[in-house]
Amino acid sequence: MRKWIILVLVLLAVAALWPWYVGGQVEDTLSAEMDLGAGGLELRHEPGIYERSYREARSEGTLHVRDGTTTYEIPLRHEVRHGVLGARVETRLDHAALDDALADHAALAAVLQRLKPEAESRSGLGGGVTTRVQVQGTRLDIAQWSAVAEDRESESPLWLEFEEALGQFAWSEEQAMASLSIPRLRLDHADGTLVFEGLRQVLALEPDADGVYGVLPDYEGGVAADRMEWTGPGCEGSLLLERARINAFQSTHGDRLDSRARLEIDRMTVTRGTQRVVRHSGPMDLQLGLERWDRAAVEQLAGTLRDPAHRRQEAEQRRDLTHAAMIDAVSQSLERSPAVTLGAIMNDEPERRLELEGNLVFSGTPDGFRMRPVEAIALDMQAAVGLQWPESLVGLADPQPFNRVLAAAEADAWLERDGEILSGTLAMRDGRIHVNDRDRTASALGLLFAAAGGMF
């Protein structure tokens, strides 16, 4: 009997002390500085005052957001409730201190005051934090936001309207995850209206061996919308995409970088101002892949393209610098035989179907590639197109130019007819180009140089 009494007393003591233990473990997690940077965006939570009692705690902190050369400091207040296996944290903006903290960014302060974001986080005993953020629906004119204004020539309003948004974030030393769900989002401006319904996004990031995410972290994610509709000014016409989605991933193996992206659309509908349906088309499936690239070279290319000084160059100079940076990236990756893969499928009906598959591989030496780039390229392409495929573009583009191109390609034996289908193959090795097993080097190189716009 005495043993049972002692056991009960021990359990009671543990139960009484457990909230203190949980509070200590949670305080260690929440008091540690959390730092996450990926793709040029850096997030850092700097802890401030932490006052812990038996079953709860109060805390203050600052969220530092750095985008390029601009840093924002957002003051936060945390209310912590200790549980059995961790804690629940409710986070709000420190509204009293927000305007002073963002004195140099009054527009952002006003937006945050209006959105009133609220977050609920859970922290476990093993560390790591999972956060759920809720933002009230609103309507804002974002035309004067610096990130928007620098890319717009018009001074007309640009209205952003969305219903209540829900975001979720999970962070640990091994992985960072983020998701976003917005039932309805609308953009209105003088050139038309863009509406998303059922918009959602998810992204998982993985750090490198040193725990750094960097400019090009490994990731897997996607974005999707149940409906995306563009309506022209005065309701003169519209384009509706149903179940549009993009999935992508990027992975690193040693110094090698592989990446792939895929766009899928179940159905496209074009209408005129009378709501008369001009055409239906779909599905559409586009895929682009990068294989066996040197990671350091791609990071250098990404850094060049993101450099504000590069973006401020005149269009022609910026194009030349971009071409040079791309050639450098290829040259540094040549020992791996880097490849670019492409796949495209549009429409199910054979007479309206477009199917394209390509594989481009670079090889050789950097000097050889710079001096004779065409000979360093191995290209294989297969194409098949229905004779009525151009008609599926009505409302997006004039089908007549495409009809003329297909007719000329058939007349010149670039494509061969089989009933209602035109198809062909292209192979490039050692600078020689074969179309449907016939040497067409001279004419193909003429088209290539014209399309390259001086890149070579």
> Helix (H, G, I), strand (E, B), or coil: what is residue 300?
helix
> Helix (H, G, I), strand (E, B), or coil: what is residue 388?
coil
CA 174 to chain centre: 21
Q: Is residue 44 very low, low, confident or very high in pLDDT (cuts 50, 70, 90)? A: confident
d(CA 70, CA 366): 37
- In the predicted structure, residue 153 carries a pLDDT above the cut 60: yes
pTM for the full predicted model: 0.79
Can you tell me which residue has the tokens 């893969």? 341
Lowest-confidence range among 96-100, 124-128, 137-141, 183-187?
Answer: 124-128
Closest CA to 280 of 232, 347, 228, 224: 347
d(CA 124, CA 86): 4
Instruction: Write out pLDDT tens, residues 207-262.
Output: 877 777 777 888 999 999 999 998 887 667 788 899 999 999 999 888 899 999 99
Instruction: Write out pLDDT tens, residues 79-122.
Output: 877 665 666 778 888 878 878 887 787 777 788 888 888 888 77
Instruction: Write out pLDDT tens, residues 347-402.
Output: 988 899 999 999 999 988 888 888 888 788 899 999 999 999 988 887 777 889 99
- Cα–Cα distances (Å) from 249 to 206, 224, 252, 291, 366, in that order, read 11, 15, 10, 12, 28
Look at residue 23 in the predicted model and tell me its pLDDT: 52
d(CA 235, CA 136): 29
Phi, psi of 154 (to 5 degrees): -80, 150
Q: Radius of gyration over alpha carbons of the chain, in Å?
A: 28
Most confident of 45-49, 278-282, 329-333: 329-333
Can you tell me which residue has the tokens 């349906």? 277
Residue type, 120: E
Burial of 385 (0-12, 13-18, 19+ CB in 10 A): buried
- In the predicted structure, residue 195 carries a pLDDT above the cut 90: yes
Can you tell me which residue has the tokens 């791609």? 298
Look at residue 442 in the predicted model and tell me its pLDDT: 79
CB 213 within 8 A of CB 255: no
Look at residue 231 in the predicted model and tell me its pLDDT: 86
Q: Which residue has the higher pLDDT, 234 or 452?
A: 234
